[in-house]
């Protein structure tokens, strides 16, 4: 990457990103990314009506990149196959109990959530409701139970289908663009609008052309269009955050409500808090943070647990959960920058910052820091939302190959310095694979993930328990997710 260097006063706050605050004698600048990984826009894919093809055909396309989607289920139609998707970090959400022809009743708004929470286990529970037939019930009833209520195209009633950085005007009316024979096949054009405006766009898909769609016969979409959309998103990984609708909703609400304060010199303490209380969610989705930092090594912990972090362009980047304890950044025992010169364009002084609006994220996203969940590139783009495991944003990241029983040593790759292992939160993680092709195969020999090594530490895949083969360059290693 070539970042243009610009000199600024250390006291100046850079970036349009979110909130920041500085306190104490040794003030530090800390910012919350507008989007996870300091990306430039967010994209959500939603699927309605329990189509078997969503499990068998659509979800695997997302899993290739570690991306997560939202599946809105009618509880009376069964949840067959969808727990497996939840286990991979996809969002399972409500589309009512009975798919009424008229407006949903208050009873179904609440009961469909309760039933799904009983039948599907997922980290954040059921937090999104998609209205059958696009018919919006009372806002209050929806928002007492859900983070997000989803409508269809806002443009059908004169609104904008692409939202701004702060989401919709009304969280009970979050728009999604209908795809397929009754809608659009232009995923890319709509994502480009979101990218250009720094906003959020969502899509609404039912069944897939020529596939087993069950009750989801309306407006079938060509699977190739979805595959192409995901490929484009992955090619623009450093700028495009793909994540489920409810997760993006949580991120925006937390970001808007959060306070962040950084203080100290040498060792920096960051306090990240919010006071949202609406009985719907704990709002504990990890936020992407960067703090100005002069050092070349850093260790970041929250409440004593190590966070993945990355130094880039005069900042240290990490994801942290609000209200989950003090975050401490210290030089001791930290991980240094990657050896590659390209990774650390700004090595120097505090007065120099990258002018890129997205300095850290780019590869960083993929790399070590964030995201283990968030994104894709790194792995998964699901964002902080890591797959179902418990500690996403705060997972402890093994900084070396020696962690854990599944760790493998570099010597297994002979002269290849790369190494792979499964980390504490269940991610297949690769280190020192800069520039090499990485492929993850499942036990059936199917490719579940391909990506390019970016050096440093890189989460590449999280999925069902089992044995996987990780190929890096021309070497391979077996690991297992437990």
CB of 147 to Zn ion, least distance (A): 20
Nearer to Zn ion, 48 or 225 (CB): 48
* 3-state SS assignment for residue 273: strand
Sign of CA dihedral 330, 324, 253, 236: positive
For the CB of residue 131, give the shortest distance to Zn ion in the complex, in Å: 9
Cβ at position 29, least distance to Zn ion in Å: 46
Q: Report yes or no: 259 and 277 within 8 Å, Cβ to Cβ.
A: no
Query: Could you tell me if 428 and 422 are in contact, meaning their C-beta atoms sit under 8 angstroms apart?
Result: yes
Q: 132 or 199, CB closer to Zn ion?
A: 132
Q: Is 48 helix (H, G, I), strand (E, B) or coil?
A: strand
How would you class 383 by CB atoms within 10 Å of its CB: exposed for 0-12, middle for 13-18, buried for 19 or more?
buried
Neighbours of 443 (CB within 10 A): 12
Residue 129 vs 386, nearer CB to Zn ion: 129
Distances (CA, A) of 277 to 107, 210, 253, 395: 23, 45, 11, 25
Nearest distance, CB of residue 115 and Zn ion, angstroms? 16
Longest dimension (CA), the chain: 65
Q: Between the CA of residue 398 and those of 56, 385, 394, 401, what are the distances in Å? A: 33, 18, 12, 7
Q: How far is 320 from 392, CA to CA, in rounded Å?
A: 9
**Residue 149 beta carbon to Zn ion: minimum distance, rounded to whole angstroms:** 14
Q: If you write DSSP's letter for every residue of 395-440 in order, what string do you get? A: -----STTSSTT---GGGGTT---EEEE-TTS-EEEES-TT-EEEE
Residue 43 or 152: the one with the smaller Cβ distance to Zn ion is: 152
Decide whether 96 or 281 has the Cβ nearer to Zn ion. 96
d(CA 304, CA 324): 10
Q: Residue 189, Cβ neighbours under 10 Å: how many?
A: 9
If the CB atoms of residues 49 and 239 are measured against Zn ion, the closer one turns out to be 49
| Shortest Å, Cβ 104 to Zn ion | 11
Q: Are strands 327-335 and 298-302 parallel, antiparallel or unpaired?
A: antiparallel
**Of the two residues 49 and 97, which places its CB atom closer to Zn ion in the complex?**
49
Nearer to Zn ion, 212 or 355 (CB): 212
Task: Give yes or no for a contact between 233 and 59, defined as CB atoms under 8 angstroms apart.
Answer: no
What is the binding site for Zn ion (CB under 5 A)? 48-49, 132
Nearer to Zn ion, 142 or 324 (CB): 142
* Residue 124: CB minimum distance to Zn ion, A: 22
Strands (E), 167-320: 177-178, 200-205, 240-242, 259-263, 268-273, 287-292, 298-302, 305-307, 309-312, 315-320
CB of 286 vs Zn ion, minimal distance in Å: 31
Which of 439, 441, 461, 459 lies closest to 450 in space, CA to CA?
Answer: 439
Smallest gap, in angstroms, from Cβ of residue 49 to Zn ion?
4
Q: Which is nearer to Zn ion, 96 or 381 (CB)?
A: 96
* Shortest separation between residue 225's beta carbon and Zn ion, angstroms: 20
């Amino acid at each position: 990457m070539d970042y243009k260097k610009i000199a600024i006063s250390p006291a100046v706050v850079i970036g349009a990103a979110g909130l920041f605050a500085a306190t104490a004698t040794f003030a530090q600048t800390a910012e919350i990314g507008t989007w996870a990984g300091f990306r430039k826009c967010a994209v959500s894919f939603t699927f309605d009506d329990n189509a078997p093809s969503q499990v068998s055909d659509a979800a695997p396309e997302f899993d290739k990149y570690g991306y997560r989607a939202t599946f809105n289920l009618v509880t009376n139609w069964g949840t067959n196959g969808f727990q497996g998707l939840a286990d991979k970090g996809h969002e399972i959400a409500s589309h009512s109990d009975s798919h009424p022809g008229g407006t949903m009743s208050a009873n179904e708004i609440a009961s469909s959530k309760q039933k799904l929470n009983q039948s599907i286990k997922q980290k954040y529970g059921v937090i999104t409701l998609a209205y059958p037939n696009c018919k919006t019930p009372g806002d209050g009833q929806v928002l007492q139970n859900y983070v997000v209520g989803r409508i269809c195209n806002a443009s059908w009633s004169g609104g904008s289908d692409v939202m701004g950085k702060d989401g919709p005007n009304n969280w009970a009316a979050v728009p999604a663009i209908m795809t397929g024979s009754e809608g659009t096949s232009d995923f890319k054009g709509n994502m480009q609008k979101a990218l250009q405006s720094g906003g959020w766009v969502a899509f609404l898909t039912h069944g897939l052309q020529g596939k087993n769609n069950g009750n989801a016969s309306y407006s079938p979409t060509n699977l190739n269009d979805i595959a192409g959309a995901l490929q484009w998103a992955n090619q623009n990984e450093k700028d495009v955050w793909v994540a489920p609708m409810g997760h993006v909703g949580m991120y925006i609400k937390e970001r808007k409500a959060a306070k962040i304060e950084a203080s100290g010199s040498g060792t920096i303490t960051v306090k990240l808090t919010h006071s949202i209380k609406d009985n719907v969610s704990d709002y504990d989705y990890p936020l992407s943070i960067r703090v100005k930092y002069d050092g070349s090594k850093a260790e970041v912990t929250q409440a004593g647990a190590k966070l993945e972090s990355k130094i880039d362009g005069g900042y240290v980047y990490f994801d942290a959960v609000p209200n989950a304890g003090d975050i401490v950044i210290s030089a001791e025992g930290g991980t240094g920058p990657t050896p590659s010169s390209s990774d650390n364009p700004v090595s120097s002084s505090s007065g120099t910052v990258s002018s890129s609006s997205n300095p850290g994220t780019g590869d960083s996203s993929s790399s070590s820091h964030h995201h283990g969940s968030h994104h894709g590139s790194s792995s998964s783009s699901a964002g902080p939302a890591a797959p179902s495991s418990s500690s996403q944003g705060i997972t402890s990241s093994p900084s070396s190959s020696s962690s854990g029983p599944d760790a493998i040593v570099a010597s297994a790759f002979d002269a290849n310095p790369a190494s792979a292992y499964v980390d504490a939160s269940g991610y297949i993680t690769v280190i020192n694979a800069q520039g090499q092709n990485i492929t993850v195969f499942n036990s059936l020999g199917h490719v579940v993930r391909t990506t390019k090594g970016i050096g440093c530490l890189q989460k590449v895949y999280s999925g069902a328990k089992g044995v996987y083969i990780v190929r890096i360059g021309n070497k391979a290693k077996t690991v297992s997710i437990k």
